[in-house]
């Protein structure tokens, strides 16, 4: 059949058995996905792998959990996670806390499943399809976000005549200082005899 389903209704015999990741083409074809680093794309597959029917909002990206999936670098994991959050592919429903409370996440191409334990405001703040609206944050333009207005090339205090002396006045020489310490020169004093 044209849609790939078999007439017998026994499923797809053309693939290996087991679950699979349902990642819509709209995610893979969007500009935000094209801007992701390879590590962020790999992490997106890892988080999508965890989704099963009704757990969107309770997906884990903790270091302990991701080490079992081959993520050895905590720094790389946190950079990829931050990238996915900023691009709108994942959403944090619970903020993790030390010593042993992990953050929970949801993918944004699916509806958020209702679970007790979300942080206050998490349900209201969730935006389905946020990756479509995410601002272009990586290598999109070379102009600064505040514009390219004319910047002043003079110091903020002006370009008046420079002072010939420091603002607190000229330094005064002191010729009455002793050339030896006030308690005497160490060579002029008798040495203490050790007993």
Q: Does some domain include residue 149?
A: no
Higher model confidence: residue 146 or residue 184? Answer: 184
Q: Does some domain include residue 163?
A: no
Q: Does some domain include residue 182?
A: no
Output the pLDDT for position 139: 36
Q: Does some domain include residue 93?
A: yes
Output the pLDDT for position 150: 63
Average confidence score pLDDT of the chain:
79
Q: Does some domain include residue 78?
A: yes
Q: Does some domain include residue 125?
A: yes
Which residues 6+ apart lie within 8 Å of 46 measured at CB?
61, 66, 69, 71
> pLDDT, tens digit, for every residue of 57-71?
999 999 989 999 999
100: domain CATH number is: 1.10.10
Half-sphere exposure of 127 (CA within 13 A, CB side): 11
Q: Does some domain include residue 55?
A: yes
pTM of the model: 0.61
Q: Which domain holds residue 73?
A: 25-133
Report the C-alpha gap between 32 and 92 in whole angstroms.
18
How many beta carbons lie within 10 A of that of residue 80, not counting itself? 25
Residue 78 · residue 132 · CB < 8 Å: no
> pLDDT, tens digit, for every residue of 148-169?
666 666 666 667 776 677 777 7
> pLDDT, tens digit, for every residue of 65-95?
999 999 999 999 999 999 999 999 999 999 9
* Domains: count for the chain: 1
Instruction: Show the tokens assigned to 159.
Output: 């370009």
User: Is the pLDDT reported for residue 34 higher than 80?
Assistant: yes
User: Is the pLDDT reported for residue 126 higher than 50?
Assistant: yes
User: Is the pLDDT reported for residue 140 higher than 80?
Assistant: no
Higher model confidence: residue 71 or residue 175? Answer: 71
Q: Does some domain include residue 192?
A: no
Instruction: Show the tokens assigned to 51.
Output: 């989704």
User: Is the pLDDT reported for residue 194 higher than 50?
Assistant: yes
């Amino acid at each position: 059949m044209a849609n790939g389903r078999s007439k017998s209704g026994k499923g797809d015999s053309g693939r290996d058995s087991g679950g699979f990741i349902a990642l819509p083409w709209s995610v893979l074809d969007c500009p935000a996905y094209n801007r992701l680093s390879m590590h962020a794309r790999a992490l997106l597959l890892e988080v999508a792998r965890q989704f099963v029917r009704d757990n969107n909002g309770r997906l884990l990206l903790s270091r302990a959990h991701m080490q079992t999936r081959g993520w050895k670098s905590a720094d790389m994991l946190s950079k990829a996670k931050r990238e996915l959050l900023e691009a709108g592919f994942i959403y944090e429903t619970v903020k993790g806390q030390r010593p042993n409370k992990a953050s929970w996440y949801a993918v944004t191409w699916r509806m958020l499943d209702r679970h007790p334990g979300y942080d206050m405001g998490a349900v209201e703040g969730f935006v389905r399809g946020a990756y479509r609206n995410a601002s272009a944050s990586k290598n999109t333009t070379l102009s600064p976000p505040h514009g390219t207005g004319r910047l002043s090339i003079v110091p903020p205090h002006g370009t008046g005549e420079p002072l010939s002396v420091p603002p607190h006045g000229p330094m005064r020489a002191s010729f009455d200082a002793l050339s030896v310490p006030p308690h005497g020169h160490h060579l002029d004093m008798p040495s203490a005899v050790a007993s």
